[in-house]
Structure 1
Amino acid sequence: MTHKLRKKAYSVQGVQDSALNASFGREVTVQQVAPGRHPATDCKPRLDTIRKSMKIATWNVRTLYQEGKIENVIKEMDRMNLNIVGLAETRWTGAAVAKVDNKVLIFSGGSTHERGVGILFDESIEKSLKSWCPVSDRVVVAKFAGKPLDMGIVQVYAPTSTAEEEEVEQFYEDLDKAMKCLKSQDIKISWGTLMPR
């Protein structure tokens, strides 16, 4: 696999709930791309200055825990001219930001090679990444600078209809935590494999 980790891997279990209940830019500093808070006069590139229009998609990849799988996803992303792709069932452990060829992957997984979610995007969009949070091995959220509003993407991998009730309830608690990480005025995109409550 030809990627290198650019951030320290965080244990999904190690993320504290108090940090997840805060909106980005306030108390969540451990997962920010740059340490510390960005000043109000920050000249960070915004999504609208990078592209007039973006193509986004989500994909249940079944696994990225096999040789060549991530490269295959990148080839398909390039072939379809996609800028951001949400990934479900990545089966990677831990949580980190990885550089893969000319793409950036934010991923969140558990301690075993099951479940896992990620968001894959172009290097040009990386400049607009404000912050991200690995909520669990079923939910990850990323916030991008935009104009007039910032955009939050929540990638999910919901349990199946045969899952235990506790697992389903935990998933929806994680989804609520992810939504609380975003501000009310942010544009929110929630995607992945969802099941009705």
Structure 2
Amino acid sequence: MIKNAANARAFPRSDAKVIAAHQFNQKLRIANLNVGSMTGRSSELSEVLLRRRVNICCIQETRWKGSKSRDIGNGFKLLYNGSITNKNGGGIVIDQDLQERIVEVHRVSDRLMSIKFVLDNQPCMNVVSAYAPQTGCTTSEKEIFWNDLDDLMQSIPTTETKYILGDFNGHIGQTSPFNARVHGGYGYKWWTDDVKQKLEQKKTLFKSWQNSKEETDLEAYRTAKKVAKRAVAQAKVKSAEDFYAKLHNIKEDR
């Protein structure tokens, strides 16, 4: 009996060590990305977020149905909200450390959602992911979105911090020479010659289908539309990666 007592652990590790193990580094990296579609891109997205050391990432155009959460790899979890069709959809990707700090998830619509986090020794943090209606959507749909966003922001206590990220489908003019004066020249880096060419081809094929109403022209337009969307999504991802790489280099130079 004495021998067993001598070899046994007298007491569990101190509470201080347990608390220290779960304390969170207060420096956060929050990002936003229009993914175009999450189908087949979970692993790719998680690897980018891991490489960029992003803690929270709001994403738009997931094109997933339902309202669920899903592990996408590398310790990241995606909480998303979609419609009954494969259109729109948004979500928020959370790293492993922050997943245990979620206290509320508010899914307003397939274009708007928010997550509340509890942090150490500071007010709760609210992260809002928004995807504004684009050109072609009805006026009523646009009004509903902005009213929902206003109601959501009003529902968050003023004592809590708020971060709004999203794709607001904003456009600054129709030509690029004046854009640099407004946003520093970073916002249109994805507008490459390849993207322009594929979008122009899509528009041309759409007009051909409208004039002919032939099934072959419709299929050609649908194919060009998919190619153009893929080109835009890839160009935006590359533009974002180049931008963050530039910021990282500037930080290292300092």
TM over 0.5, yes or no? yes
RMSD of aligned alpha carbons: 1.8
> In structure 2, what is the equivalent of residue 59 of structure 1?
33
Out of 85, 96, 103, the residue aligned to residue 112 of structure 1 is 85
Larger-gyration structure (1/2): 2
Q: Identify the residue that residue 26 of structure 1 maps to in structure 2.
A: none
| Alpha-carbon separation, structure 1, partners of 2:64 and 2:155 | 23
Residue 168 of structure 1 is matched in structure 2 by: 142
Gaps of 5+ in 1: 1-44
Moved over 3 A (4+): none
Deviations 1:105-156 (A, max 9, x none): 1101111110000000111101111110110000011000023211001100
CA contact (8 A) 1:97 1:107 kept: yes
- CA distance in structure 1 between the aligned counterparts of 2:155 and 2:76, rounded to whole angstroms: 24
Q: Deviations over 1:152-189 (max 9, x none)?
A: 01100101133211110011122123224422211011
Q: Secondary structure at the match of 1:50?
A: coil
1:89 aligns with one of 58, 61, 68:
61
Distance in 1 separating the partners of 2:148 and 2:113? 9
Bigger relative contact order, structure 1 or 2 (CA pairs below 8 A, ≥6 apart): 1
Q: Distance in 2 between matches of 1:100 and 1:135?
A: 23
Question: For residue 70 of structure 1, what is the aligned residue in structure 2?
Answer: 42
> How far is the alpha carbon of 1:50 from its aligned partner?
0.6
Structure 1 distance, partners of 2:82, 2:154, is 20
- Where in structure 2 are there 5+ consecutive unaligned residues? 1-18, 171-254
Structure 2 counterpart SS, 1:57: strand
* Cα deviation 1:16-49 (Å, max 9, x = unaligned): xxxxxxxxxxxxxxxxxxxxxxxxxxxxx9xx93
**Matched residues, number:** 148
Higher strand share: 1
Q: Distance in 1 between matches of 2:79 and 2:152?
A: 15
Name the structure 1 match of 2:185: none
Query: What is the TM-score with the length of structure 2 in the denominator?
Result: 0.55
Secondary structure of 1:170's counterpart equals helix
Q: Residue 116 of structure 1 contacts residue 137 of structure 1 at CA under 8 Å; is this kept in 2?
A: yes
Indicate the SS of the match to 1:132. strand
1:109, 1:181 → 2: CA distance? 22
Bigger shift: 167-176 or 112-121?
167-176
CA distance in 2, matches of 1:94, 1:177: 23
Letter in 1 for 2:71: K
Q: CA deviation at 1:195?
A: 5.0
- Find out whether 1:149 has 2:123 as its counterpart: yes
Q: Please give the alpha-carbon distance, in whole angstroms, between the structure 1 residues aligned to 2:52 and 2:156.
A: 29
Q: Secondary structure at the match of 2:109?
A: coil
CA apart distance, 1:88: 0.6
Contact 1:135-1:177 at 8 Å conserved across structures: no
Distance in 2 between residues matched to 1:178 and 1:98, nearest whole Å: 24
Answer yes or no: is 1:121 the counterpart of 2:94. yes
Q: Which amino acid aligns with 2:43?
A: E
Q: Distance in 2 between matches of 1:171 and 1:49?
A: 37
Query: Of Structure 1 and Structure 2, which has the larger fraction of its residues in helix?
Result: 2
SS in 1 for 2:123: coil
